[in-house]
Amino acid sequence: MRKILLYTFILFTIYSGLAQTSEAAVKLLDEVSETIATFDNLSFDFSYTLENRQENIKQETSGTVTVEGNKYKLMYLGAEQLNDGEKTYTIVPENEEITVSNPEDEEDFGINPSELLNFYKEGYDYQWDIKQNIFGRTIQFVKLIPSSEDKEVKYLLLGIDIVKKTIYRLIEIGSNGTRTTLTLSNQMSNMTLKEDFFKFDVSRYPDYYINN
């Protein structure tokens, strides 16, 4: 998930149509925000695809994440990333190595998991886009166009389940022709988590090299 990202119409009739669809887009996004705000925590699986047909590149990965406030636990590419609200611990069993970092220094997919659910609130202009029926779910897409010039990102498409008012899919269209797609599944909320669920326990990794 890289950095997440109006057309200006001259004719009055076109401008009026854009205003209406923009209002609908903002209203739907507000409803999503209100729904997410009711969750104490949230867990979901995800699939991540990066594709550039011109360069003949296609990469597919998957993982799972649990988020609570600014804390999260992410399982991805055989590694575990744990954020306790103050530090992030990236645990790589293959190398028996742990990297400790500050959350503000991370990129993850370009959005850290705790920001994925509200990144769209600032920095974008909105347009109403296509509606699709995906596996029996009605998904309405909203087009997000960066308010300021972004040399890497042309726009984003945020797919929203209009019944559950939750995020289903995020598509980023890059200026270089790269398309990345993040799809969420198996979403669960308001779970009972252990008190130390997001706590890093160094005693579990006695032979690991810790890189601070």
pLDDT (tens digit per residue) in 71-119: 899 998 899 999 998 999 999 999 999 999 887 665 544 445 556 666 7
Give, for all 212 residues of the chain, the pLDDT tens digit: 333 222 212 222 223 333 445 788 888 988 888 888 888 898 999 998 999 988 889 999 899 989 888 889 999 889 999 999 899 999 999 999 999 988 766 554 444 555 666 677 778 888 999 999 999 999 999 998 888 877 788 999 999 999 999 889 999 999 888 999 989 999 999 999 999 999 999 999 999 999 98
Whose tokens are 């509200």? That residue is 118
Question: What are the residue ranges spanned by the domains of the chain?
Answer: 12-211
Q: Which residue, among 60, 58, 11, has the nearest Cα to 177 in the 3D structure?
A: 58
State which fold the 12-211 domain adopts: outer membrane lipoprotein receptor (LolB), chain A (2.50.20)
